[in-house]
Chains A and B, each alone.
Chain A
């Protein structure tokens, strides 16, 4: 069964304190690994797609990386406005998106 897990469930950081979020996946065939940001009461906002192991993508303070079993979202010198839930999803050759439960990030000023 295809499965995506995320850790930690929740993370509190001080402003400027860098950290990483983990997304582990077990799927029959990975076509792409997606990262989203979701603010409370809103739809997820697309951040990155990674297609192959070793690939990296960056956007402002965020950098996503991919291995054959997991993906990391690195947050460098976060600001309070980075507070949100971060979701990852595996897109499979079965044309399905399998979502993880998310990591709830709080960045304190």
Chain B
């Protein structure tokens, strides 16, 4: 089955620790995205990448980092510099140059205490 996988589904960390969220897609999509979702708010863009080895900051990139070494993978690191990291994180991908339909993974719920 083609799709986007995110792991783990739930993640718990202590304040001050960095944590990396995994995102893998087998849709052969060029572009990948990371969003953050907080209760009652829309999705906010953290980072996106339209091609391997290139990525751009979104609206709320501070305290986060990404890499895009392979087309299929776009991991997100939540660093200790992120002031309020507890949230639901969603990864998505899009095939550029076509319909631009964006498909999402199941999400990772991160809780930092």
Footprint of B on A, CB under 8 Å? 4, 31-32, 34, 36, 41-46, 49, 87, 89, 91, 95-97, 99-102
Q: How many contacting A-B pairs (Cβ < 8 A)? A: 54
Query: With A41-B107, A42-B107, A97-B33 in contact, is A102–B42 under 8 Å at CB?
Result: yes
B104 engages A44 (CB within 8 Å): yes
Tell me, rounded to whole Å, the shortest Cβ–Cβ distance linking A19 to chain B: 21
The stretch of B11-19, B77-85, B95-103 in contact with A is: B95-103
B107 engages A99 (CB within 8 Å): no
Q: Pick the residue among B44, B102, B105 that contacts A34 (CB under 8 A).
A: B102
Q: Which residues of chain B are near A99, meaning CB under 8 Å?
A: 35, 42-44
B100 engages A100 (CB within 8 Å): no
Q: Pick the residue among B31, B42, B90 that contacts A43 (CB under 8 A).
A: B90
Footprint of A on B, CB under 8 Å? 4, 6, 31, 33, 35, 40-45, 50, 88, 90, 92, 96, 99-107, 109
B107 engages A43 (CB within 8 Å): yes
B45 engages A96 (CB within 8 Å): yes
Residue of B whose beta carbon sits closest to that of A51 = B99
Question: 3 tightest A-B contacts by CB?
Answer: A43-B104, A99-B42, A99-B43
B101 engages A42 (CB within 8 Å): no
